[in-house]
Structure 1
Amino acid sequence: MDIDVLGALAVRENGISITPTAPKPRQVLALLALHADQVVPVSALIEELWGAVPPRSARTTLQTYVLQLRALIATALEGGDAAEGDAVRTAKDVLVTLPGGYLLNSGGGTSDVKEFDRLAALGYRAMDAGDFPDAAQRLREALALWSGPAFADVHGGVQLDMETRRLEEIRLCALDQRIEADLKLGRHRELLAELTVLVSRYRTHENLHGQFMIALHRSGRRGEALDVYQRLRATLVRDLGLEPSAALRRLQRSILMAGPENAAAGKAALPAVAGTGPRADRLVRA
């Protein structure tokens, strides 16, 4: 089974889609697919579908959705070409009923979330070891697995909304570290266009603004770097009632005190932005 959730939901068995078009069964499959090979409690599925006040018929209706998914799985199993000697799988082997919940058996197939986690972990380890070229490459590969917001075409309930926020957070952490690695490699000019878009999208994300300030300063654009700080400060004060972090204030002072930029060298000694490890600082989506 191949599972993609980092963008549109796509689940394939034997290369054939088993993704339903109806919204409710789609929600069920999305939650099962994200937690493939793990038991998803019936209570979690019911909360996802109906929130805190489910109808009396919730369990029966959920069982109907499971039967609909198994029908799609059975069709895919019949239409696929099993290799000689492979054990014959049934729909109940793929979507398993267990005490208290259901389990989607991936059969050792692919998962874009698991691959993202693997590549991101390699990137983080490379960052810790100071191997910035490998870190940038691994994190770039991890981020390339995303084709849009997680579950982009699924109308999510409580559970999926929570998972979507979690996945977006880990994506931003990987993005933050990839940009950090690129800055370490002197790619500040290459980052300017990307960071222009990112700070517009995440208007109170301090790490991204700090990285943009560094990239601008090292590109000989000190005035614009200071403008980025002032815009961020105004947004933080207006929207959150907060001043920029101490690390970002130190970065601003370093840029203010710097002499005329050597745009060609781009070697200004600036402090690191706080929290540029695998967790972003003060993340609030615009």
Structure 2
Amino acid sequence: MPVDRLVADLWEEGPPAGAVSALRTFVAALRRCLEPGRPLRQVSRLLVTDGPGYALRAGRDAVDAWRFEDAAAEVAAAPPRAAVALWDAALARWCGPALADFPHAAWAAAERARLEALRLDADERRADALLASGAARDAVADLEAHLTAHPEREHGWVLLVAALERSGRRGEALQALDHAREAFTRALGPGSGAHRGPPA
């Protein structure tokens, strides 16, 4: 990350005099926090000077987002029951919205959106695994909560309808289709064709 980009992100209203020196002080303090046992004059191996800026050289097992991505890749080859347990372990790494400390930072927007999409996909893939393992009833409550927060998730509605149907709750499955239609109409507008409802 170039120094000028860091300065611009830290002082959005315009950097003060001495901003670069202040940034170097921040970096030195951050290095001490990240590597508390590093001898005073030893070069940092984690937060390194790289060309005109700084780079974080963390291993994949040191960053929660990367650990989640690796866990998600591992699930792909697992049978349904094992996949549910693996998804549970992966999703347990989430303790709130991605990059929650920087809700308005422009530099974080794209990564926050990417990570949020990965998490929502994981919620649905876990539900898929529950359905495939014959645990449709266990999927219903989680899918209902998922869709309450994210009603635009088409695949989530498909999964919920399937979970209700397989749980013997056909009437509620039909109601879920109505709720999905309403959600898409709100999201897309009355002239969008959403009145036809989601694919079953």
Aligned to 1:77: 37
Rounded to whole Å, the distance in 1 between the matches of 2:144 and 2:179 is 13
> Tell me, what secondary structure is at the counterpart of 1:179?
helix
Aligned to 1:138: 86
> Tell me, what secondary structure is at the counterpart of 1:149?
coil
The CA deviation at 1:146 is: 1.1
The CA deviation at 1:115 is: 1.7
* Correspondent of 2:26 among 57, 65, 75: 65
* Correspondent of 1:161 among 109, 125, 128: 109
- CA RMSD across the alignment: 3.0
The CA deviation at 1:55 is: 3.0
The CA deviation at 1:138 is: 2.2
Residue 55, structure 1, aligned to residue 15, structure 2:
yes
Aligned to 1:205: 153
Residue 214, structure 1, aligned to residue 162, structure 2:
yes
Pick 1 or 2: higher relative contact order, CA cutoff 8 A, min separation 6.
1
Residue 171, structure 1, aligned to residue 123, structure 2:
no
Within 5 A, what are the aligned runs for 1:145-156? 145-156=93-104
Structure 1: gaps spanning 5 or more residues: 1-39, 79-86, 252-286
Instruction: Normalising by structure 1, report the TM-score.
Output: 0.59
Asked whether the 8 Å contact 2:61–2:67 carries over to 1, the reply is no
The CA deviation at 1:65 is: 2.1
Rounded to whole Å, the distance in 1 between the matches of 2:40 and 2:32 is 16
Aligned to 1:248: 198
* Correspondent of 1:101 among 37, 43, 53: 53
Asked whether the 8 Å contact 2:181–2:195 carries over to 1, the reply is no
Q: Deviations over 1:65-108 (max 9, x none)?
A: 2133234456x226xxxxxxxx9983634321110221234378
> Tell me, what secondary structure is at the counterpart of 2:97?
coil
Asked whether the 8 Å contact 1:77–1:90 carries over to 2, the reply is no
Asked whether the 8 Å contact 1:233–1:243 carries over to 2, the reply is no
Q: Deviations over 1:36-74 (max 9, x none)?
A: xxxx333543453345x7436554443332133234456
What fraction of aligned residue pairs are identical, expressed as a percent?
33
Instruction: Normalising by structure 2, report the TM-score.
Output: 0.81
Rounded to whole Å, the distance in 1 between the matches of 2:135 and 2:193 is 29
Aligned to 1:273: none
